[in-house]
Chains A and B, each alone.
Chain A
């Protein structure tokens, strides 16, 4: 039962353009969402998060949007840079029922072409 899904295994964009990574979830108890970035042979690195009481959170070039009614979130990176090329994981948590446990999506490989 995949509660967090990233339907695009890969995404390729040109440097300077916008990258949009999508994530869908099914568990309505999820109330906190995070994006992680992962380079090969390294652990995931926290990027940005959003609480379910908000619909947008911005940090520099990274913005996360949450649509609770659609159970959908997205990560926007603008402008995209070659160094952003990595695997991006969406993760979710239900604080009341699972505390610190995170449920991850399968990941999307982002390639930013110079």
Chain B
């Protein structure tokens, strides 16, 4: 029973390129959350999605960032025209239903913008 799978584990992008981070939730989970951890800080909520729906994107930067969770396939967090300040660890979590407290996190994708 695989946990939440995130790939790639490490991603290096040059400034101005696009970064695509993928998250496959646990089997049977239809709710996905994305969090970002900047160096020396706690995790900050970005977006909450269900299949084909964005439920809460209040933590997403207004520009360059987007997220989707299609009917088939993993959830994707896309960052266009990356800047050095986007360098961070991005964590995905999943739960079976809403209010899925104690939901399961993946191991994260460490994005480095050079």
Contacts and interface: CB of A to CB of B under 8 A. Distances in A.
Interface of A: 4, 6, 32, 34, 36, 41-46, 49, 89, 91, 93, 95, 98-107
Nearest to B31: A100
B11 to A, nearest CB: 14
Given A4-B42, A43-B107, 7 more contacts: A41-B107, A43-B6, A43-B105, A44-B43, A89-B43, A99-B99, A100-B99
Nearest to B95: A100
A49 B31 CA distance: 20
Interface in B1-54: 4, 6, 31, 33, 35, 40-45, 48
B41 A101 contact: no
Nearest to A43: B105
With most chain B CB atoms within 10 A of its CB, the pick from A43, A45, A101, A104 is A43
Given A100-B31, A100-B33, A100-B48, A46 B56 contact: no
A51 to B, nearest CB: 9
Contacts of A42: 107-108
Contacts of A102: 35, 43, 45, 101
A106 B41 contact: yes
A99 B48 contact: yes
B42 A104 contact: yes
Contact of A101 (B45, B95, B105, B106): B45
Given A41-B107, A101-B58, A32 B91 contact: no
